[in-house]
Amino acid sequence: MTSNWRDHRIASALRGENPAVVRRLDAGFAAIGDVQFLPGYSVLLVDEPGVRRLSDLPRAKRLAFLSDMDRLGEAVERACLRADPAFRRVNLEILGNTDGFLHAHVWPRYDWEPADRVSLPVWLYPRDRWTDGRYALGPRHDALRAALGEELDRTGTCGKREA
């Protein structure tokens, strides 16, 4: 594994060297997030390093990326609901204001979040949530990572889903 996979997330995923990748999907990579202050946070990375925005993709690939985002969102929802009865919902976002490559954020939200935060965008959480080592992705998240992978497998291929 290269030491700079975070600097080249898509290229390292294509090489099989991005340790955050959970599964390869149709138009990208499902990855568990670097921070887990909201357990289950995941990211969908496009599988083409030069793509900066959704509109850079041909329509069929664009729709495949959005379908992958839906699939990852459903997997996060199912895994988090199973892991924590206080699971509330999933927020899906394509922003691109910091990282200049197409990616989508999948944020689980919980009833145990502070009342002054639960209805606001995740990005308004205090900076320490993003930098405190207690929330960094690590071995303690292996079971959650495995559950996400299992749910992605359950949502199937070729658009087939369990009822």
For the chain, the structural domain boundaries read 9-154
- DSSP at 2: -
Is the domain covering 9-154 a CATH 3.30.428.10 domain? Answer: yes
Tell me which residue has tokens 């887990």: 36
Q: Roughly how many angstroms between the first and final C-alpha of the chain, as a whole number?
A: 38
The mean pLDDT values, 10 residues at a time, for the chain of 163 residues are: 67 90 96 96 94 94 97 97 96 85 95 92 92 92 95 72 38
Strand partners, 28: 46
The reported pLDDT for the residue numbered 3 is 52
Q: Given strand 87-93, what is the order of strands in its sheet?
A: 21-24, 28-32, 42-46, 103-110, 87-93
Strand partners, 92: 106
Residue 86: which residues within 8 A CB-CB, separation 6 or more? Answer: 110, 111, 112
CA distances, 86 to each of 82, 89, 110, 123 (Å) = 10, 10, 5, 21
The reported pLDDT for the residue numbered 159 is 45
The reported pLDDT for the residue numbered 2 is 40
User: pTM here?
Assistant: 0.90
* DSSP state letters, 96-160: -SSSSS-EEEEEEEETTS-TTTTTS-GGGS-THHHH-GGGB--GGGHHHHHHHHHHHHHT-STT-
The reported pLDDT for the residue numbered 6 is 66
Residue 121: which residues within 8 A CB-CB, separation 6 or more? Answer: 91
